[in-house]
Structure 1
Amino acid sequence: MAWHRGGWNMAVNRKNKFRLKPAHWFCIAGLVPILILYGYLRFIPIIKTMYISFFEWDLVSDKKPFVGFENFITLFQSEAFLISLKNTSIIAFGILIFSVPSALLIAYLLSKGVRFKAWYEAFYFLPVITPMVPVAVTWKWILDSNHGLLNYFLSFIGIPKQAWLFDPKLAIVSVIMLTVWKTIGYNMIIFLVGITGIPKDNYEAASIDGATGAKAFWYITLPLLKPITAFVSIITIIHGYNVFSQIYILASDIQGSPGYVVRVLVYDMIENAFRYYKMGYASAEAFILFFIVLILTLIQLWLAREKNSSKKGLKL
């Protein structure tokens, strides 16, 4: 009888657990308009772009014939698109390689209780909140081949002037340097929050076994920061694949055409859509970019799920 009564009480508790209270309904009522607006501004354009990618769609003629996957086939036969995809991938992974480890190292050093910690955090985070356009204009002056500060300082160690914005390879390096400088503060803050959340008992227990300094960082800090590292890495790569503003400004007035030296996916998409009026072709490019971002997001979710599963296994 006690067992049946306990089972009945458990069923009642479960039923009450999922019963919505007035506060819940108030939150739902406040979220519904926002979700509708978000869906209208986000999901409908994505669906519309996917629809347009299957047509020969321009902004001039009324006829928009259905071409199926012809835009995608033409896309991967286009040298301009393949170069754009290659350059964008190099920039995205270049930003990842230099930004994430640097941000982790800075966050780890700041977590050790240095003096003026708040000032250092503000110093590193200031580029994040600075608009990209003035930042890119400033870096354009710094990277100027004749009168730039970078070539001026490099001359002290015997390095000749470099055409940072004219040579395609150096232009990619310039974009990576600018973007790393712009985003390293955001990654640093995320890592710093993660390091601060690690219980000190782990380090105290490790110190008993002789794991201090670099060993503690390698065997305690890094493993416990795996979910945050995965999140920061994927976000950084996604940001790299959407790079456009800094390239457009840095490469403007070069060869008479913005973006001539370093061609990326977003620029190629905008040029095909609004310069050549090939909306179907540009929509296919946008779909490819969306697919890349989707794959990266799914990888992030999979890594987070794998980490949570391992935690549950440890608890059992």
Structure 2
Amino acid sequence: MAAHVKKKFRLNAGHWFCILGLAPIIAIYAYLRFIPIVKTVYISFFEWDLISINKPFIGMENYVELLKSEPFLLAIKNTTIIAFGILIFSVPIAIVVASLLHRGIRFKAWYEALYFLPYITPMVPVAVSWKWILDSKTGLLNYFLSFFGIPPQAWLFDPVLAVVSVIVLTVWKTIGYNMIIFLVGMTGISKENYEAASIDGATGIKSFWYITLPLLKPITVFVSIITLIHGYNVFSQIYILASDIQGAPGYVVRVLVYDMIENAFRYYKMGYASAEAFVLFLIVLVLTAVQMMLAKDNTASGRRKKR
């Protein structure tokens, strides 16, 4: 038995070819991904700045200071609100749009390109365009609202409206990607399911509710977690929308990535910023673990149904 096992797991020429072929890629990936993570965790335990030669070890003090820091807690709060706000609106709208396109309409390819175009457009020009639209004095949005008797709104000055603006901008930009993923998932659903449901009287909204949504559950989990992860990494649009407002970028809407960059490169508190980066890494790690658990549960339940 032991000899059989050894023979079964013996590496042949094809295995060594794959290992040697992937080794450079894995080495580069480890150098660019894993080593920086380990280095960041290491720096977070020191009073590390970009000026002083002496960098004393302070243990968990940076993490304790994080929990007492009002700007950090505000950044976590704003980032969480933005991330879940993007999730709440982006995923359902993407499902509805994908469902309408999946039914088959004229110029379907044009509509797909129209919805996907904002996603492939770089964030900087998109944010600059939205900054003009949301301008409180000469913006197109306030001009449009004036036709309904609504007074001009300070979209980029008021903290609440600024968060809403960031959510709307990000949903508009990312909805195309989510739509394409859902559309691919709907294409993979067999027509036999809908035909069987129509025999039982489930058509239209009922077939969408009882056939499409349950079968899209694994894809919905994937899209939801990816959307949350991207939401927690939000920065560029906030930096551009809030620039030149009250003298400092990011003043109106403080998010985690901005707080991290400010502490690292403005106040030279690299150890403190590394602790913030590690907290963000833990958030993303937890979200990824949740996605894997839910995907595993969906796979297991699917196998049980087949049995």
TM-score in terms of structure 1 length: 0.93
User: May I ask how many residue pairs the two structures share in their alignment?
Assistant: 306
**Distance in 1 between residues matched to 2:102 and 2:289, nearest whole Å:** 31
Shift of 1:26: 3.9
Deviation per CA, 1:149-202: give whole Å up to 9, x if none: 111111111111000001111000110011001100000000000011001111
Identity, % of aligned positions = 76
Larger radius of gyration: 1
Matched, 1:211 2:202: yes
Letter in structure 1 aligned against 2:272: Y
Measure how far apart 1:14 and its partner are: 9.4
Gaps of 5+ in 1: 1-10
Aligned partner of 2:100 among 81, 90, 109: 109
Q: Is residue 2:273 matched to residue 1:282?
A: yes
Partners of 2:8 and 2:92 lie apart in 1 by 44
Residue of 61, 67, 72 corresponding to 2:52: 61
2:84 matched residue in structure 1: 93
**Counterpart of 2:245?**
254
Deviation readout 1:1-31 (Å, 9 max, x if unpaired): xxxxxxxxxx999999867665554443332
Aligned CA RMSD, in angstroms, stands at 1.8
The residue number in structure 1 matching 2:145 is: 154
CA distance in 2, matches of 1:54, 1:14: 46
What does residue 222 of structure 1 align with?
213
Whether 1:310 aligns to 2:294 is no
1:21 and 1:311 map into 2 onto residues whose CA distance is 35
Q: What are the Cα deviations for residues 111-133 of structure 1, in whole angstroms up to 9, with x where unaligned?
A: 00111111111000001110000
Distance in 1, Cα, partners of 2:243 & 2:133:
15
Structure 1 residues 15, 192: closer, same or farther in 2, change over 3 A? farther
State the partner residue of 1:200: 191
Residue 25 (structure 2) aligned to one of 34, 46, 68: 34
Q: Distance in 2 between matches of 1:14 and 1:312?
A: 29
Distance 1:15 1:118 in 2: 54
Distance verdict in 2 for CA 1:273–1:162, change over 3 Å: same
From 13, 29, 43, the counterpart of 1:52: 43
Equivalent residue runs for 1:177-192 within 5 Å:
177-192=168-183
Taking a change above 3 Å as real, the CA distance of residues 16 and 161 of structure 1, as seen in their structure-2 partners, is farther
Map of 1:175 onto structure 2: 166
TM-score by length of 2: 0.96
Distance change (3 Å), C-alpha of 1:283 and 1:193 = same
Question: 2: CA distance between counterparts of 1:49 and 1:239?
Answer: 20
2:259 to 242, 263, 268: 268
Structure 1 residues 208, 19: CA separation in 2 closer, same or farther (over 3 Å shift)? farther
In structure 2, the CA distance between the partners of 1:23 and 1:119, relative to structure 1 (3 Å rule), is farther
Q: In the TM superposition, what is the alpha-carbon distance from 1:49 to its structure 2 partner?
A: 0.4
Gaps of 5+ in 2: none
| CA–CA separation in structure 2 for the residues paired with 1:177 and 1:22 | 54
Alpha-carbon distance in 2 for matches of 1:26, 1:195 = 38
> What letter corresponds to residue 260 of structure 1 in structure 2?
Y
Partner AA of 1:84 in structure 2: A
Residues 66-95 of structure 1 show CA distances to partners (whole Å, capped at 9, x for unaligned) of 111111111010000000000000000000
Q: What is aligned with 1:72?
A: 63
1:157 alignment partner, SS class: coil
SS at match of 2:251: coil
